[in-house]
Amino acid sequence: MSDPLLSIRDLRVSFPTRSGLFQAVRGVSFDLGRERLGVVGESGSGKSMTGRAILGLVRPPGKVTAERMDLGGQSILNLPESKMRALRGARISMVMQDPKFSLNPVMTVGQQIMESYRLHSGQGGRAARDKALDMLRAVQIRDPERVFDAYPHEVSGGMGQRIMIAMMLAPDPEILIADEPTSALDVSVRNEVLRIMDKLVTERGMGLIFISHDLNLVAQFCDRVLIMYAGQVVEELAAKDLHNARHPYTQGLLNSLPRLDHQVDRLAVLQRQDSWRDQTPPLRSGA
Amino acid sequence: MTELTTRAWLLSDAPQTRRQAKLGALYQGWLTFRANKLAMFGLVILILLVLMAIFAPWLSPQSPFAQNLADRLKPPSAAHWLGTDALGRDILSRLIHGSRITLFIVGTVALIAPVIGLFIGTVAGFAGGWVDQVLMRITDIFLAFPKLILALAFVAALGPGIGNAVLALAITSWPPYARLARAETLTIRHADYIAAARLQGAGPLRLLIGHVWPLCISSLIVRVALDMAGIILSAAGLGFLGLGAQPPMPEWGAMISDGRTYILDFWWVAAVPGMAIFIVSLAFNLLGDGLRDVLDPKGAKE
Amino acid sequence: MLKVENLDVWFGDLPERVHAVRQASFSVAAGESFGLVGESGSGKSTILRAITGLAGGWSGRIEVAGEAVSGRHRSRAFHKTVQMVFQDPYASLHPRHSVDRVLSETLHLQGMDQIDARITRLLDSVGLGRGFRFRYPHQLSGGQRQRVAIARALAAEPRLLLLDEPTSALDVSVQAEILNLLSDLRKDRGLTFVMVSHDLAVVAHMCDRLAVMRGGEVVEQMAAPVLRSGQAHSAYARDLLAASSSYRRESA
């Protein structure tokens, strides 16, 4: 990976609370190339906050600091909102967990995709419409003309998530951040959505940050995995090596899952250790 | 116990007794409220108002009723800080005594209207079906009339006087609370914790009082605090029209009414009680805003 | 312990009536752990709600401990026999009620005596300890909340526990703790479980037998080992198993 799309060093996000400063993210560093990078952790591990920080979506009084946060060699750390807005969508996009909350209920699906495309490309209505229909076809919606004129409540959850992906990919971003994109979906729909996302990301040579709590899913879907605990990256490994994870936290997470292929009487319970909180995150050597 | 440990005890996430849990919850609320400077300002004004009402006889320099026709319509001076009215009564003294009346009106309306509203709204929302239909149509009938007109009609029928004015205001101001309480109840009704209580065999009355009311009350309190200004103004309006407090009672609305004949030449007669109404209304609004931060965090932030 | 025959459950009135469950039949023996699996909208949770009288209209036959239930009203005896744990521990605890209040009200409603001692024992039995007694839900983590919800369900000392996706809102490590707790409680108290889940692995771990549901109908019933070995009869059950065990890249 010679030229990372996104390079982050020592990212920190903190929120002032009554009992002092709460650090949601404590020194996260990674590079993202044209690959699928999984970020795994439990709730409160700071994985979503990392995604939000990259997009400049951390609301005040939250504070984002980093030694470096570069997109294609240009710093995007704490850019003014107007510049960030131009960046968001055009170069980095985000797919959220539940399409029900991220689609505008009073605009048709087509209008929303067209809008996201026009905002960033400056193209006219005709071209935007064609692009929107193309995108709907690309996410394998069988009847794009009909879905184009549908309102979000008229489509199913899986369809909604595909529409979100269509919308986010319409302006051809370099990086897609997907925050639990399939957690609200049924397994059968989930795999379809993943396959579509996989295909688009690979074809377009995009970088994907896939945030999820599901270790196995990430292991199967991504190239490389970061495991986060209490705001830090505790382990980084190639997805295929996940089951040989060394960090006790990763092992504990894997062992606590009930498995279909072998029966246990009791599930292993994760014994959290304070030392996990304070270890220095492993620095990657440029692999 | 030092200051710091009391604070830690109150903010503890693991309270050891029922009392500590209750006090801790109150303290958390107080901290949130205190962070809102404007709300604190409102609270201070209202505390001053209450103190003023309690100590009115000692605070007021003169009797609010003592007439002195020789000194009528005097501008503010050392003898009469806020001047005198058309009958030579000291406006400051009347203002101070008037705070009692204002508090009486506000307090009584604030006790009656939300309680009626809470009861009707939650019963309607919780029972559903025809009970809901009947209660909400009654509410609609009340809502269909402008509040002040309806209050006027009530007072006209019952006879003018401060008691009847309060009653009329209370009767006419409950429908919005009923609406609000019903809307809240509808969202609560199907919550899992209600279902869980039902599964324990809890009857509708217990669910209503023990489970639904505590969740509705906070938003009602906020709404009442925000509506207080309106109630004061309505009461003043009734006073102004001569249907509320009767002379010589130093009710603020009636005082403005008295002063309107002289408003161009002797502005202070109407302006001083007007300022008082304005300040108190503002204080209630600010307080309501702060209470919303505490009681209904969803509505205030994000 | 529980017998469901030809159960139909619907919502709404006739012209736009939506059937959530059609002709579902299954029975659960005392001491058994039975799973209901399916995707969202398959009607699995609705069955639990129909049993407890929380769902809309239903027809068919529901028998609990030999007693048939009818309509939406349930007797005191029913509430003492059957309890339920809900999916979302953030929604199933009253936000203004402390743990103490939740448990003491429940015990009071169930006509129990020695409420203080019982609360302590309940908290101990779900692994919370008495330090949690006076906390409010916002002072608890998701797993702790679910433990409180389980304690609430156990307060009546029921024999049948209905579990509606009890861990799907929790992190996996917490899920393991809760599932272990449920297994222990079942062993200690000889409880009968009916567990609804979309997660086949969880159901296979917890249950002896299970029913696969789709579109409101029971597609197939099987023993858990059959599910594990992938020898389900219906294509749908096999598809579900394949889909949930892995995601495979098209290229791979």
CB contact under 8 A, C247 and A221: yes
Domain positions in chain C are 31-41+74-245
Phi-psi region of A46 (alpha: psi -120 to 50; beta: other; left: phi over 0): left
Confidence bin at B29 (pLDDT 50/70/90) = confident
pLDDT at A2: 54
* Mean pLDDT of all residues in B148-156: 86
pLDDT at B300: 41
Residue of A40, A47, A156, A186 for testing the chain C interface, max C β-carbons within 10 Å = A186
CB contact under 8 A, B11 and A19: yes
SS3 content of chain B, % helix, strand, coil (to 5): 75, 0, 25
Alpha carbon distance B182, B186 (integer Å): 6
Pairing of strands A68-71, A207-212: unpaired
pLDDT at B299: 45
> CA angle at residue B33 from B29 to B35, to 5 degrees?
120
pLDDT at C163: 94
- In angstroms, the Cα distances linking A222 to A38, A214, A240, B278, C241 are 6, 12, 9, 64, 22
Residue of C90, C179, C205 for testing the chain A interface, max A β-carbons within 10 Å = C205
**What single letter denotes the amino acid at residue A250?**
T
- In angstroms, the Cα distances linking A51 to A30, B93, C33 are 12, 64, 41
pLDDT at A284: 45
* Mean pLDDT of all residues in B207-219: 90
Residues of B with CB under 8 A from a CB of C: 13-18, 20-21, 25, 191-193, 195-202, 206, 210-211, 214-215
Would you tell me which CATH number, out of the four given (3.40.50.2300, 1.20.120.160, 3.40.50.300, 3.30.70.20), belongs to the domain C31-41+74-245?
3.40.50.300
Q: Nearest CA to C158 among C93, C101, C92, C77?
A: C77
Tokens of B35: 């962070």
Alpha carbon distance A191, B99 (integer Å): 69
Q: Distance, in angstroms, between B192 CA and closest chain C CA?
A: 4
Q: What subunits touch chain A, counting only 3 or more CB pairs under 8 A?
A: B, C
pLDDT at C81: 92
Beta bridge partners of A231: none
Q: What subunits touch chain B, counting only 3 or more CB pairs under 8 A?
A: A, C
Cα B51 to the center of its chain, rounded Å: 17
DSSP state of A42: -
Alpha carbon distance B222, B114 (integer Å): 11
pLDDT at B298: 52
* Mean pLDDT of all residues in B186-193: 89
Contacts of A257 in chain C (CB under 8 A): 172, 176, 201
In CATH, the number for domain A80-278 is 3.40.50.300
For residue B241, give the 3-state DSSP assignment: coil
Which residues of chain A are under the pLDDT cut of 50? 1, 281-287
Q: Is the pLDDT of residue B301 over 70?
A: no
Q: Distance, in angstroms, between C157 CA and closest chain A CA?
A: 24
CB contact under 8 A, B11 and A59: no
Tokens of C215: 């579109």
Q: Is the pLDDT of residue B270 over 80?
A: yes
Among candidates C53, C87, C94 on the partner chain, residue whose Cβ is nearest the Cβ of B211? C94
> How many CB atoms are located within 10 Å of the residue B209 CB?
11
| A12 neighbors A26 (Cβ within 8 angstroms) | yes
Binding-face residues of C in 51-90 toward B, CB within 8 A = 52-54, 74, 76, 79, 82-84, 86-88
Alpha carbon distance A206, A202 (integer Å): 7
Alpha carbon distance C173, C170 (integer Å): 8
Q: Does C157 touch chain B (CB under 8 A)?
A: no
The percent of residues in chain B predicted with pLDDT above 90, rounded, is 28
Q: Distance, in angstroms, between B295 CA and closest chain C CA?
A: 11
> How many CB atoms are located within 10 Å of the residue B46 CB?
19
- In DSSP notation, C201-235 reads HHHHHH-SEEEEEETTEEEEEEEHHHHHTT--SSH
Beta bridge partners of A22: A15
CB contact under 8 A, C155 and B200: yes
Tens digit of each residue's pLDDT, chain C (252 residues): 899 999 999 887 777 788 889 999 999 999 999 999 988 878 888 999 999 988 878 899 999 988 888 888 888 889 999 999 998 888 899 988 989 999 999 999 988 888 999 999 999 999 888 888 888 888 888 899 999 999 999 998 999 999 999 988 888 888 999 999 999 999 999 999 999 998 888 999 999 999 999 888 999 999 988 888 878 888 888 888 887 766 655 443
Burial label for C113, CB within 10 Å (0-12, 13-18, 19+), is exposed
Domain positions in chain A are 80-278
Q: Distance, in angstroms, between A166 CA and closest chain C CA?
A: 20
Q: Distance, in angstroms, between A17 CA and closest chain B CA?
A: 11
Pairing of strands C82-85, C67-69: unpaired
Q: Does A18 touch chain B (CB under 8 A)?
A: yes
- Domains defined along chain B, listed by start: 38-191+217-300 (1.10.3720.10)
Alpha carbon distance A70, A93 (integer Å): 16
Give the number of C-alpha atoms closer than 13 A to the C-alpha of residue B291, restricted to the C-beta side: 19
**Regarding predicted confidence, which is higher, B134 or A156?**
B134
pLDDT at A219: 83
**DSSP alpha helices (H): ranges in chain A?**
47-54, 81-87, 99-102, 109-121, 125-138, 144-148, 157-169, 187-204, 215-221, 248-255, 275-278
Q: Does C11 touch chain B (CB under 8 A)?
A: no
